[in-house]
Structure 1
Amino acid sequence: MKRLVLLMMLVMASTWLQGCSRDEQGAGAPRLVSPDGRIAIDLSRAGDGQLAFRVTHDRAEIVARSPIGLTLSSDEGKAASPLLDLTILSFAKREGRERYAVVGTAREVDRPYAALMVHARERSGEQRLLDVELRAYDGGAAFRLVVPPQARMGLVRIGEETTAFRFPANYACLGVHQSELANSHEGEYMPVAANALKRRGYYDLPLVCRTGRGGETLAISESNVENYAGAYLVALPERHPGVAVKLTPHLENPKLAVDTPMVEGGVASPWRVIMIADRPEALVASTLIDDLAAPSRVLDPRWITPGKAAWGWWSGLMARDVDTPGHNQATYRYYIDFAGRFGLPYYMIDWGWAWRDPSRQEKNPLADITRTTDGVNLPALVRYARERKVRLWLWVNWKALDGRMEEALALYQRLGIAGIKVDYLDRQDQEMVAFYHRLLSTAAKHHLMVNIHASFVPRGLDRTYPNYMTQEGVMGVEYNRWSKRDTAGNHVRLAYTRAIIGPMDYAPGAFRNVTPAAFVARKHAPEVMTTRAHQLAMFVVFPSPLTMLADAPGAYVDAQGGLAPGADFVRLVPTAWDETQGIAGEFGNMIAVARRQGSRWFVGVLNDEQARNVILPLSFLGAGKWRLASWRDGATPKAVVTGSGQVHAGRGGLRVRLEANGGAALMLTPQR
């Protein structure tokens, strides 16, 4: 039955266009134009009474006329039915401006937009009301559906959205396919034509596509999910280029995605977002997901501090000079000592610190996250770390936290814990979305920062809750422990896709670098299939205000106790930025990203499996002379060639040789 309902929705999205008259396709329709005049989005009514939108970029259609809608019911005993026989009652335009700051991403954002609110009603039957709010920004367009307060609707029950994104041509896309609705949102973004998307399963956000007109690129995602279910994308029928929205259903009722009381202002869907850029690498500078998110609910965020963290889980808690490395006081002190010497503000204590009942029959029973395992004294560790100017983060299982959140988080605040890493969520249904909001608001109350793993991909919650420092929802460095899937090409494609929508806890800085041919997956002292310079570049390319160092402390020092090649860059690279620009790229194959903190620019260049020479433009620099420091590929994967020199802003470009699976990291400082 579930597949039948989905098929009916997709058929509606495919066949609906045939019923549009010329007038209904846009003449006199409500229309918005972005402040720079380049992007337009309009709304109209189709022949069957569905609403429809269209997006143009430089007057060329980038999203063809596509349906907007949902199936709705206000009665627990009645199935949700589509809103089809709609008429537009009225609409009103306005201009707006988003001014805000996001921890780690941009010191100040000042983004103007044009807005349009459209009010519609069914002409027959229950005469239900539906509003559509649209926005046009420089760099994209968005819309959302709002079920407004109305008679006989104290409860809002949504089965499906009938919204689709129909492409006017067969775009070349990058997408990550998931076979199940409940998953950790990890996987490879792979090249796929828009008419060849897989019929079965679901595509996670974002879907990023080249249109074929020069470098023009769009990305489809969503923002500001609350009291609603997260969405996937599914292929349109008959191999029509494009996708439809698929809401994640309730666990107990697959026919229902949203079940919530009516609230003042109505029940709103997340924003359906179309990010647009002239070049694919320019999407890394987009703030559109955060622009559309709810404003910050943390009144005073001064306690929230970005930074890097020592981390032992990936390398297997390797600790030199510790007799029995593991979940014990000596090992944790070893990592705290390293963090203090290396200038890291944090140490992440991962799985294993909390007490588990040995009498339980499960292999890994839920821990008591208010008690420590034998041999660990948490208050003593906090004091030991504080003396070294280091603060601690704690890993917790979300199920262990769910029933005693207030108790546990109040305890961590009293102890002086900096933040928590919450794991194994693996869902994006309405109930889990509500857990995110409850977790982040409760953590903020107790001045705790948060990192969520096995999470859904970003939807702007880092603006709403600035203590939400980073999140997974990405196939990260951990996959090198058991597979060969985490390749250099995967990293480049992540930069064009997952990294453009929000913080990404990949965990760079793996220093056991080998060629793919020599690579062996292992859980102790794991290796990676990229050069060390490639690993350095990820600190710049992948956004994450909290950045975990993948490797063990011993990987960052040489045999004489000095810094290993490249470790000096790991120490000095920031995790919080004032400005971002994508300066060069080949879609899915190579990318160069420049980020500024204060007066200094850092550049990260990631390359796939094909060696190449690239020329990096210097137009992003201000006028004058700049001092250049560089970390580039050497003769072996572990080798790093360092250099220094002087460059002049606006004078040509900088030639960089990238080895296969390689990269480069640069730092540019203005000369006074």
Structure 2
Amino acid sequence: MKQKILHLFLLMFLTIPVIAQKRLGVSSPDGRLQVAVLLTDSIGYQLLHDGKLILSADAIAMKLGNGNAFGIKSQLKQAKTTLVKEKIDAHFYKRSQINDEYSELTLDFKQDFKLIFRVYNEGMAYRFVSSGKKDFIVNEELASFQFPKDYKAYIPYVKTKEKTLEGQYFNSFENTYDYSLLSEMNSNKLAFSPMVVELDGGKKVCLAEADLQSYPGMYLYNPDGKTALEANFAAYPKYTKQGGHNQLQQMVTSRQPFLAKSKAQTKFPWRIAIVTTTDKALADNDMVYKLAEPSRLKDVSWIKPGKVAWEWWNNWGLSKVDFVTGVNNQTYKAYIDFASKNGIEYVILDEGWAVNLKASLFEVVPEINLKELVAYGKSKNVDLILWAGYYAFERDLEKVCKHYSQLGIKGFKIDFMDRDDQEMVDFHYRAAEIAAKYKLLVDFHGTYKPTGLNRTFPNVINYEAVNGLEQMKWTGPEMDMVTYDVTMPFIRMVAGPVDYTQGAMRNATKRSHRGINDEPMSQGTRCRQLAEYVVFESPLNMLCDRPDNYEREQECTDFISAIPTVWDNTIVLNGEIGQYITTARKKGDTWYLGSLTNWDTRKLELDLGFLGTGDYVAEIYQDGVNANKIASDYRKDRISIPVNRKLSITMAQGGGFAMKIIKK
């Protein structure tokens, strides 16, 4: 529910034609960000921070199939400026309530469209809105992000061997970051958003999008070696065929000469430029969530976030049992027992429970009796989530949701979409809506980054689109996961939650890590794995390791199992992109704190002044003195929080620090 505090309309109202009006302006509530909209035969804008130009575009437009265009030789009817100050009650998020304060400039044009600019203290966004009465085709969108200098950027290129841009539209949206000058970007490669550009004086701009509905997602690339990024979009599929991973994907074989089939009154995605002067502010930004459509669900009481005992990462691992582990009821009952003992809400049945190569979720392997497992789980207060390949889920969507909801299944982890064209974006909304109808959670894997769907349909409880811990199963030191861990929170996590799947109890140094499928390990220390449950936003959070590994490390397991997955408040205390980060999160009267470093040993002075008055005690987990050689080495202590609220911590190479704080 939104509670409106202040709403001022019609601060500026113009009815003069575009020829007479060359420049319109709107500023953030604190006045530090200014947007100048330039109207000639095209529409451009300039974004200034403290009076200095940081970003611009010569022309933003949408070319339509009927020969018309939004933003080319358009005639302005009127302009309206609005100041809004609201509070958003958030569901299953990093804070329970969000301050939503912005200035909005709405430009209404005779060509049946509006262009809306919003300026927050923390950034700018704009969107096109159709105001006509007829449906239409979008052939092309022009969107560019021009920087005044050749800055360096953190670039998440599409990970693929495909050389053509067309071929790169099929990807899993997972990669590490290249750090290079804008002019040195590979002109033959697409990058997915969010992307961060590093300005002078510690300022940064993060480019993202929000409220992506019935429209392709935005890629970014630099085709000509200049200091500008151009938007790029996958065209609408013309023909697809079943194929890909285990025949569970729809492969696009040809595309239409247009981007989208759009309805009258369509609200197109927000194009966002987040502006920060400190990295920690970037890691704690709410703009994507704020700009998304509010929840369509009136009742969210049935949605239960929590943690999941997960078998795929550890290859269905169990030891000291009298049966062969794998995709069978005996193995899953053991996982249910472990979850029940440790207060873990869910167990997932990942790929393998449905007959392979059939692309049907109604053909269950003979080793699995789902009805029996559901009943066994309920007797232990543990619910089940099922993995589903995209095509198998999509082809029988409502039938699948209805059947498994009635069976007692609580959600689906849907995988291998690997596209973000309009057809696939539509699937995400359709899947979320029908799943909600049958009170099912959705965890989207093999998918594009979140753009606010988790606000519109709060049963969308998590997203992958992250270079997560699964990578450690098949890569060695050539994959620098430790650096990625302290880079991703400032970039990818700006868009929304991540299903990173941390929790490894086998931990390795930079020298000792190697990929082993049956007994995988993490890079970095044990305390790093604990701290990631605090630093990474993840309303449905996996425990990736084997139950018996957790049982041998019960002290760490107790800490993990107690950590909430949604929060009343979040504060990023410090951080530098690619170097380190410290995040504190509150649930009820309890605070959790997590800190991560890169491969450098690091000492930090923490200011815990956010605790306020009173006496506090803390349970702390810190890297052991030998953690640089034995990554699993850690120590647990119980301390009183100093009266001056200052605390010094030290982390090993690839290390971490985790803490639970309670009031006496």
What's the TM-score once normalised by structure 2's chain length?
0.89
Q: CA deviation at 1:432?
A: 0.2
Correspondence for 2:213? 226
Match of 1:243 among 229, 232, 237: 229
How many angstroms apart in 2 are the aligned matches of 1:291 and 1:448?
A: 24
How many angstroms apart in 1 are the aligned matches of 2:423 and 2:359?
A: 23
Q: CA deviation at 1:473?
A: 0.6
How many angstroms apart in 1 are the aligned matches of 2:258 and 2:517?
A: 39
- Mapping of residues 48-447 of structure 1, within 5 Å: 49-74=41-66, 83-96=71-84, 97=86, 99-121=88-110, 128-149=111-132, 154-178=134-158, 179=160, 180-213=168-201, 215-235=202-222, 237=224, 239-252=225-238, 254=255, 256-263=257-264, 266-320=265-319, 321-354=321-354, 356=355, 364-447=356-439
Checking the alignment, whether the CA contact within 8 Å between 1:370 and 1:411 is kept in structure 2 is no
Checking the alignment, whether the CA contact within 8 Å between 1:453 and 1:472 is kept in structure 2 is yes
Residue 259 of structure 2 aligns to which amino acid in structure 1?
V
- Mapping of residues 643-654 of structure 1, within 5 Å: 643-648=637-642, 651=644, 653-654=646-647
Residue 662 of structure 2 aligns to which amino acid in structure 1?
T
- Tell me: CA distance 1:660–1:596, structure 2 relative to 1, closer, same or farther (3 Å): same
Correspondence for 1:21? none
Q: CA deviation at 1:377?
A: 1.1
Residue 618 of structure 2 aligns to which amino acid in structure 1?
L
Deviation by residue 1:366-410 (Cα, 9 ceiling, x = unmatched): 343124210211111111101111000000111001121111100
Match of 1:33 among 27, 32, 37: 27
- Tell me: CA distance 1:600–1:114, structure 2 relative to 1, closer, same or farther (3 Å): same
Q: CA deviation at 1:56?
A: 2.0
> For structure 1, which segment, 662-671 or 410-419, has the greater mean C-alpha deviation from structure 2 after superposition?
662-671
Checking the alignment, whether the CA contact within 8 Å between 1:488 and 1:529 is kept in structure 2 is yes
Q: CA deviation at 1:236?
A: 5.5
Checking the alignment, whether the CA contact within 8 Å between 2:87 and 2:97 is kept in structure 1 is no
Corresponding residue pairs, total: 616
Q: CA deviation at 1:103?
A: 1.2
How many angstroms apart in 2 are the aligned matches of 1:427 and 1:570?
A: 33
How many angstroms apart in 1 are the aligned matches of 2:298 and 2:20?
A: 43
Q: CA deviation at 1:222?
A: 0.2
Correspondence for 1:463? 455
Q: Does residue 590 of the first structure (1) align with residue 580 of the second (2)?
A: yes
How many angstroms apart in 1 are the aligned matches of 2:606 and 2:268?
A: 41
- Tell me: CA distance 1:220–1:26, structure 2 relative to 1, closer, same or farther (3 Å): farther
Question: In structure 1, the residue corresponding to 2:413 is in which secondary structure?
Answer: strand
> For structure 1, which segment, 93-102 or 282-291, has the greater mean C-alpha deviation from structure 2 after superposition?
93-102
Correspondence for 1:554? 548
Checking the alignment, whether the CA contact within 8 Å between 2:276 and 2:282 is kept in structure 1 is yes
How many angstroms apart in 1 are the aligned matches of 2:182 and 2:661?
A: 40
- Tell me: CA distance 1:257–1:223, structure 2 relative to 1, closer, same or farther (3 Å): farther
How many angstroms apart in 2 are the aligned matches of 1:37 and 1:129?
A: 31
Correspondence for 1:616? 606
Correspondence for 1:7? none
- Mapping of residues 520-599 of structure 1, within 5 Å: 520-558=514-552, 563-599=553-589
Q: CA deviation at 1:85?
A: 2.2
How many angstroms apart in 1 are the aligned matches of 2:358 and 2:468?
A: 24
Correspondence for 1:12? none
Correspondence for 2:13? none
- Tell me: CA distance 1:486–1:324, structure 2 relative to 1, closer, same or farther (3 Å): farther
Question: In structure 2, the residue corresponding to 1:145 is in which secondary structure?
Answer: strand
Question: In structure 2, the residue corresponding to 1:557 is in which secondary structure?
Answer: helix
Q: Does residue 452 of the first structure (1) align with residue 432 of the second (2)?
A: no
Q: CA deviation at 1:65?
A: 4.6
Residue 143 of structure 1 aligns to which amino acid in structure 2?
Y
- Tell me: CA distance 1:317–1:112, structure 2 relative to 1, closer, same or farther (3 Å): same
How many angstroms apart in 2 are the aligned matches of 1:299 and 1:256?
A: 39
> For structure 1, which segment, 652-661 or 525-534, has the greater mean C-alpha deviation from structure 2 after superposition?
652-661
Deviation by residue 1:618-657 (Cα, 9 ceiling, x = unmatched): 23332343212211111120111112212246x3632211
Which runs of 5 or more structure 2 residues have no equivalent in the other structure? 1-17, 161-167, 239-253
Which runs of 5 or more structure 1 residues have no equivalent in the other structure? 1-23, 122-127, 357-363
How many angstroms apart in 1 are the aligned matches of 2:154 and 2:129?
A: 30
Deviation by residue 1:483-535 (Cα, 9 ceiling, x = unmatched): 13252011111111111210100001011101222222111011122111111
Residue 172 of structure 1 aligns to which amino acid in structure 2?
K
Question: In structure 2, the residue corresponding to 1:337 is in which secondary structure?
Answer: helix
- Tell me: CA distance 1:257–1:658, structure 2 relative to 1, closer, same or farther (3 Å): farther
How many angstroms apart in 2 are the aligned matches of 1:202 and 1:98?
A: 37
Residue 91 of structure 1 aligns to which amino acid in structure 2?
A
Correspondence for 1:626? 616
- Tell me: CA distance 1:393–1:593, structure 2 relative to 1, closer, same or farther (3 Å): same
How many angstroms apart in 2 are the aligned matches of 1:65 and 1:270?
A: 17
Residue 379 of structure 1 aligns to which amino acid in structure 2?
K
- Mapping of residues 508-527 of structure 1, within 5 Å: 508-527=502-521
Q: Does residue 664 of the first structure (1) align with residue 654 of the second (2)?
A: no
How many angstroms apart in 2 are the aligned matches of 1:223 and 1:386?
A: 38
Correspondence for 1:124? none
- Tell me: CA distance 1:242–1:26, structure 2 relative to 1, closer, same or farther (3 Å): farther
- Tell me: CA distance 1:92–1:388, structure 2 relative to 1, closer, same or farther (3 Å): same
Residue 231 of structure 1 aligns to which amino acid in structure 2?
M
Checking the alignment, whether the CA contact within 8 Å between 1:50 and 1:84 is kept in structure 2 is yes
Deviation by residue 1:169-204 (Cα, 9 ceiling, x = unmatched): 333321200151110001102322233222112111
Question: In structure 2, the residue corresponding to 1:524 is in which secondary structure?
Answer: coil
Q: CA deviation at 1:89?
A: 3.0
Checking the alignment, whether the CA contact within 8 Å between 1:66 and 1:165 is kept in structure 2 is no
Question: In structure 2, the residue corresponding to 1:620 is in which secondary structure?
Answer: helix
Deviation by residue 1:40-62 (Cα, 9 ceiling, x = unmatched): 2231124xx11011222233222
Residue 468 of structure 1 aligns to which amino acid in structure 2?
V
Q: CA deviation at 1:414?
A: 0.7
Question: In structure 1, the residue corresponding to 2:402 is in which secondary structure?
Answer: helix
Checking the alignment, whether the CA contact within 8 Å between 1:30 and 1:44 is kept in structure 2 is yes
Residue 276 of structure 1 aligns to which amino acid in structure 2?
V
Q: Does residue 607 of the first structure (1) align with residue 597 of the second (2)?
A: yes
How many angstroms apart in 1 are the aligned matches of 2:257 and 2:613?
A: 57
Deviation by residue 1:344-365 (Cα, 9 ceiling, x = unmatched): 01101111112x2xxxxxxx41
How many angstroms apart in 2 are the aligned matches of 1:50 and 1:188?
A: 37
Q: CA deviation at 1:37?
A: 2.3
Q: CA deviation at 1:308?
A: 0.5
Q: CA deviation at 1:548?
A: 0.7
- Tell me: CA distance 1:268–1:400, structure 2 relative to 1, closer, same or farther (3 Å): same
How many angstroms apart in 1 are the aligned matches of 2:60 and 2:87?
A: 25
- Tell me: CA distance 1:322–1:475, structure 2 relative to 1, closer, same or farther (3 Å): farther
Correspondence for 1:6? none
Q: CA deviation at 1:419?
A: 0.7
Checking the alignment, whether the CA contact within 8 Å between 2:541 and 2:565 is kept in structure 1 is yes
